Amino acid sequence: MCGRYAFTLPSEAMETLFGVRNVPEYPPRYNIAPTQPILSVMRDESGARAAKLARWGLVPAWVKDPREFPLIINARAESMAQKPAFRDSVKHHRCVVPASGYYEWHRAPDGTKIPHYIALASGEPLPMAGLYATWMGPNGEEIDSAAVITVPANPDLVHIHDRMPAILDRADLDAWLDVRGTDAGTALAAIRSAPQGTMTAHPVSSRVNSARNEGEDLIAPVAVEKPSPDSDKAEDVKPVKPSQLDLF
């Protein structure tokens, strides 16, 4: 799964790399967690690429009460086209979630979970494939939300975890985002594991286990250490509270 990631791209880089303008203000973040606002790239009504803030945790349009709906931060590529929660988004609401890198936890033989920071070996940003949805409430309230698509881990990462985000090739961005001109079947051909040799990973501090912690030091390599007993577990999915439905 992908349950934490970092995003440190300035607006200028977003405009150059993803062809968007008027990027919402978004400070460098080193520990983005589910239910928090994330920056995503999609096509707007005119067909142009646009950057938009969305809640990390997809809420399909047909949900009656988001507070009673499970927190869905990832969509498995192998089954998402058939799942009711993702079916409409696969066809009509595809997006890209830009990241500098992401975190994954490896379970050691003694049961200890060791966090790793994972990025492209080239140092380039990760265009993670995603899905988004807009939920409209009975009183006019609106929630834009998104999930990151995952695929089987490639050989670089399978020793850490069996899943990884689907990272799009630059050449596939247009087809993935073009929900009007590219059918879902064609677009899904771009969703695959990254080629061997393209990813790098290193252990990082267990401070990343808590979403309260922030800072560049979180992505710095460290010697393998055991997390403290009272540290938060990134894989734990907690019930969505009403306040978590607010983007700001």
**Which residues are catalytically annotated?**
2, 104
Q: Please check whether residue 198 is in contact with residue 212, taking contact to mean a CB–CB distance below 8 angstroms.
A: no
- Three-point CA angle 182, 124, 234, nearest 5°: 90
Cβ partners under 8 Å of residue 20, min gap 6:
14, 41, 49, 50, 51
Q: Nearest to residue 198, comparing CAs of 107, 75, 101?
A: 101
What is the distance between the alpha carbons of residues 119 and 123, in angstroms, rounded to a whole number?
7
Strands 74-76 and 94-99: unpaired
Q: What is the Cα–Cα distance from 66 to 116, expressed in whole angstroms?
A: 32
Phi and psi based region of residue 14 (left: phi greater than 0; alpha: psi -120 to 50; beta: remaining):
alpha
Collapsing DSSP to helix, strand or coil, 46 comes out as coil
H or E, element range at 120: strand 113-120
By C-alpha distance, which of 97, 83, 88 is closest to 179?
Answer: 88
Query: What is the chain's Cα-based Rg?
Result: 17
